[in-house]
Amino acid sequence: MRPSNRKALILTGAVLNTLPISLSSYYGNLLPYIDSYYHANRGTIGLHVDPLWIVSVFEVTLVLGMIFTSPLEHRIGIHLTIFAGDVFISFSVISGYLTIKEPLALTFIFGGLQGTSVGIVFALVVKLLLQTIPNNGGLATGVMSAGPVLGALVFIGVAFAVINPSNKEPNLTVHNKVYFADEDLIDRVPIYFLVVGAITTASTLIGAALMYFGSWKLLQNSSEEKSKGALNISIQKNTQTARSEGSVAHENSRALSRTVSTTRNYSTHAREEIMTEKNTSFTSTSRAKPEEIGRNAFQQDNQNSIELCTQDEISPRDAIKTTKFWLVWLAYVTSNHTNYLHLNLYKQYGQQAISDDSLLVTIGIISNAGMVVIRPLVGVASDRFGIRNTSIILNSASCLFMSLMVLALHICPWAYMVLIVIEYIGVSPHTMIFSLLTAFEFDLFLSIAFANVTDLWENTLKNFVSSYFDPTCSMLNKSCNADPVGLDGNYRVDK
């Protein structure tokens, strides 16, 4: 098989492998169905856990999963690790058919186990792409990024087709929250996990197989080429060293013979002749070793380059002591609430004034499709206007359009739907923007550490606030019988 065909297999497998990893992108469409299921079965649930915790646990454990990627890869290999991660992803989704009866189990398995597995699989898929397609790594990862978007589009459509094919309206309002009360709809919620689990299993296993058959030969050839290259370099160095040493010995021998002859015949000028022959020997030796001189010069330049890089690098331990690090971290935490609230609650909030479920589903699909367009444009904008200016513009626009959404829902629902698409496109590259920002402000290694620290703290903080204190999420403890004070279930002000 040609290398180009193998690379096509790898790329196709990468897209299929990343189809089901986009829980954060499609969960906002699924949330009203799960919330309605919990409300309808509230009498049989032992411990209530707000469904919003599922996506937050997913995001936190995704970061934790990346930590275990390297040890697992070195122990069992990259392909077997990807396969094992795919199996756990499929299990976490299919098991939702049973675990949805207990919210805590659904949170830890559908959210936590899936997040850990996705973190492992995603990191290794990217690594395998860069190893097998090194000359077009940017293009390959760009094509691969279409996988999660396509997965979100598919899973949003599947949720509507399986759970609410008749387009039933949410017709039950409790404490400013709208639920689906139709019994048939409620009974179909667990079936969704079986259908999506089957799609996930087929997609990930086929993707893993394609990546294996496409990459094993390329990785083997790459390993052999590296070994041969290292051996050739070693042989060349030894040959050059031997030639240089032989040349030095030959010139020294000639110099010694000339010195002795000169001493015997011209004793009165012995010292001058010896000095002349020494200079001649030095000149000849220098001319006989151009490779040695070139190699020494290269090593010196390389050493200078290494020292320069070492001086410019900053370790994570030193970085967290700087004001710049905490300013960027604080900016990420305080600005990501729009991303979190919009992706997860746009549909649940919109149901207060828009009863057509199919319309909101369609808007979600269009919004996800817009992500494919906006993300490359964000990179172009960061190159043209600077990453700091781009970050300020997008975050300001995100807050502005979310405020307009709050006003538009009860005044003009159609405007609300248009703003959903605009806001979706605005908040979707949020993490990408801050990844670029940290890459510019710090080195690449630090940006990875920044991502780990930020995701852990930011997800824990925003989930705690949204579940218990933030009135915009309408996630008050359901065991409390008191009505909300101030802002009601979502955004409107109580009188």
pLDDT digits (tens, 9 = 90+) for 415-455: 998 988 888 777 766 666 666 666 666 544 344 444 444 44
Categorize the per-residue pLDDT at 228 as very low, low, confident or very high, splitting at 50, 70 and 90. low
Is pLDDT at 282 greater than 60 in this prediction? no
Phi, psi angles (nearest 5°) of residue 478: -70, -15
Sign of the CA dihedral with 107 first, then 60, 203, and 185 last = positive
154 neighbors 199 (Cβ within 8 angstroms): yes
Mean pLDDT of 55-61: 89
Is 368's pLDDT higher than 50?
yes
Q: What local confidence, expressed as pLDDT, does residue 252 receive?
A: 52
pLDDT over 50 (residue 314): yes
What pLDDT, on a 0 to 100 scale, did the predictor assign at position 370? Answer: 79
What angle (nearest 5°) sits at the alpha carbon of residue 286, between those of residues 284 and 291? 125
> What pLDDT, on a 0 to 100 scale, did the predictor assign at position 440?
63
Q: In whole angstroms, give the CA distance from residue 342 to residue 402.
A: 8
The answer, yes or no, to whether residue 192 has pLDDT greater than 70, is: yes
pLDDT score, position 198: 95
Mean pLDDT score of the chain:
73
Residue 292 has pLDDT above 70, yes or no: no
- 470 pLDDT band, cuts 50/70/90, is very low
Q: What is the DSSP code (8-state) at residue 384?
A: H
What is the structure's pLDDT at 38?
A: 93
Which of 183-197, 255-269, 282-296: highest mean pLDDT? Answer: 183-197
Where residue 300 falls among pLDDT bands split at 50, 70, 90? Answer: very low
Judged against a pLDDT cut of 60, whether residue 67 lies above it is answered with: yes
Q: Residue 54's pLDDT band (boundaries 50, 70, 90)?
A: very high
d(CA 401, CA 426): 9
Confidence at 316, pLDDT banded by 50, 70, 90: low
Domains of the chain: 1-237 (1.20.1250.20), 238-317 (no CATH), 322-495 (1.20.1250)
State if pTM tops 0.85.
Answer: no
More confidently predicted of 68 and 187: 187
Between CA 196 and CA 162 the distance in angstroms is: 10
Lowest pLDDT segment from 25-39, 268-282, 387-401? 268-282
Residue type, 347: K
- Residue 126: what pLDDT? 83
Proportion of the chain above pLDDT 70, given as a percent: 63
Task: Give the pLDDT mean for 377-395.
Answer: 76
Q: How confident is the model at residue 103 (pLDDT cuts 50, 70, 90)?
A: very high
Separation in Å, CA 298 to CA 248, 285, 289, 304, 305: 21, 20, 14, 10, 10
Residue 110 has pLDDT above 90, yes or no: yes
Give pLDDT, residue 112.
94
Can you give the pLDDT at residue 214? 81
Residue 309 buriedness (CB in 10 A; 0-12 / 13-18 / 19+): exposed
Rank 178-182, 331-335, 394-398 by mean pLDDT and report only the highest. 178-182
Determine which helix (DSSP H) or strand (DSSP E) holds 172, and give its type and residue range: strand 172-174
H helix intervals, 164-182: none
The partner residues of 172 in beta bridges, in order of sequence, read 179
> Does residue 125 carry a pLDDT above 80?
yes
Residue with the larger pLDDT of the pair 470 and 21: 21
Question: Distance of CA 265 to CAs 256, 272, 440, Å?
Answer: 15, 13, 73
Q: Which of 54-58, 88-92, 268-272, 415-419 has the lowest mean pLDDT?
A: 268-272
Q: pLDDT at position 461, please?
A: 45
Q: What are phi and psi of 172, to 5 degrees?
A: -125, 120
Burial class for 462, CB neighbours closer than 10 Å (0-12, 13-18, 19+): buried
The pLDDT value recorded for residue 217 is: 66
